[in-house]
Amino acid sequence: MTNVKTVPTTPIHGQRPGTSGLRKKTAEFMRPPYLNNFTQAIFNAVGGLTGKTLVLGGDGRFFNDKAAQIILKMAAANRLAKLIVGQNSLLSTPAASNLIRQRKADGGIILSASHNPGGPDEDFGMKYNMSNGGPATENVTECIFQETTSINAFQIFDMPDVDLSKVGKQQVGEMEVEVIDSVVDYQALMKTLFDFEAIRDLLADGFTITIDAMHAVTGPYAKAILEIDLGAPKGSVLNAVPLPDFGGGHPDPNPVWAKDLMTIMFAGDAPDFGAAMDGDGDRNMILGRGTYVTPSDSLAVLAANAHLAPGYKRGLAGVARSMPTSRAADRVAEKLGIDAFETPTGWKFFGNLLDAGKATLCGEESAGTGSDHVREKDGLWAILLWLNILAVRKKSVAQIMAGHWAEFGRNYYSRHDYEGVDEIRAKEMILTLSRRLRDLPGTEIEGLIIEDADNFSYSDPVDQSVSPNQGIRILFEDGSRIVLRLSGTGTVGATLRVYLERYENNAELLNQDPQLALAPVIRAAEQIAHIQNYTGRTAPDVKT
């Protein structure tokens, strides 16, 4: 192909993907040849593109459209046979996963930094998903990184930008580009899983909802499904237009960053149900009138009630949760007589379980839930499953939560985030604590006796791979837990996450404020890890 240019380049330091791909400041991604190098590294790591099909799309954040054009031209130069692109280069992460699976593509590239802020001074991200629709495995991720350290050239097609605003097919060199309606395939999948008629009846009977799309990619999906198809009143979906800077907001669906929705849901005239989704549509926050449902509790409730939706009437093969997620879902699995799996953080670890049929529902405490319908977490899916359950059970969110805790007990739970802390000091804290773990069992702190302490190591039950050092666990005899780990989703400094859990089954103590119920565990975490000393913070930046 005469239009193909081979451009010499040199490796760029620091292009190691984390748990959800590579995330950096937008300005860094925009500085040539940063994006070109990483893109070519992906193409090289997967054995080249000749004859293959890929899916491409992103969450619409700043630089999404320009990055899509560069990747498209590089794919053509690398002899990709077909590229399936979301209209205007937009695709939610779960929709991209579904397209990869439905179209039997060889993989996909998703442009997103998920729940991180967007804009010229904020964050950008890029990740590769495998042919099963799930994030790249650790082996592939490592191959990509190694390619970034030795790259000496990239290939790109020399041509004007392609019009991605119109649905249809066009040719770029030897590569077919198919621009698809971003919503249609995903909407069709949802109809196979849920009782849309029951949800329509619920909404027609006056049940009110408010969904905050946070000016992110799910706005068009939510409007098409909830307002147009299911009949929710116009305006039920707020902030529905995707914007490059997410309207100046932080597209993370939690009580801190979705404060406006929290105010609506805790007002005297609150709707019956509320929810929010993040930048790329894979996370969710669930609310009832005056009720906040933690992600861990949401996973447990969905596991206990999934059989009420047509797509899950067969029952669940198993439930999987990330290690930091509360053990509430484990109690449901025990009663259902199904397996409960504990994996490291990162949706890629669920992929093997889902592909092997060992698990049906999966969840992470960081507002991610999903099932075997795709290989990513899925915010709108979680909202629809909740609505299906509410339509069948005809109870409020608060009533469902109260009934769940009465039956299973309550796992009081909270995550404390210390953001942008000094990376050297944060790693020093983890290392120092790691060296003390073997001496902690038997120690009593704040009236709690430590039963065990370790740095979590995961042995995959499908392929027997081992993933060590996935987070420090402090386990107490009464079932309480402290988990400490450094997050891989930030772009500046280090983010220390401290997860706190305490189980309660006394009926008179099931409605406490979580921070008060967890107070002894919070004090114990400080005494064990000396968090203030290492972070220089007297309090976390975010509590969820």
Give the CA angle between residues 417, 362, 291 to the nearest 5°.
60
Q: Which two tokens stand for residue 359?
A: 């698990």
Q: Which two tokens stand for residue 452?
A: 């065990």
Q: Around Cβ 492, how many Cβ atoms within 10 Å?
A: 12
Owner of token pair 């995959």: 460
Report which of 229, 187, 226 is spatially closest to residue 208, judged by C-alpha positions: 226
Q: Around Cβ 290, how many Cβ atoms within 10 Å?
A: 13
Report which of 263, 408, 265 is spatially closest to residue 334, judged by C-alpha positions: 408
Q: Around Cβ 428, how many Cβ atoms within 10 Å?
A: 12
Q: Determine contact, residues 229/183, Cβ cutoff 8 Å.
A: no
List, edge to edge, every strand of the sheet that includes 107-111: 22-25, 123-129, 107-111, 53-58, 82-90, 175-180, 168-172
Instruction: Give the C-alpha separation, 336 to 155, whole Å.
Output: 53
Q: Determine contact, residues 264/291, Cβ cutoff 8 Å.
A: no
Q: Around Cβ 252, how many Cβ atoms within 10 Å?
A: 24
CA distance readout (Å), 222 to 52, 105, 142, 217, 382: 32, 25, 36, 9, 12
CA distance readout (Å), 98 to 102, 377, 387: 6, 11, 21
CA distance readout (Å), 31 to 12, 26, 28, 245, 493: 11, 9, 5, 19, 21
- In degrees and rounded to multiples of 5, residue 260 shows phi and psi of -60, -40
Catalytic residues: 114
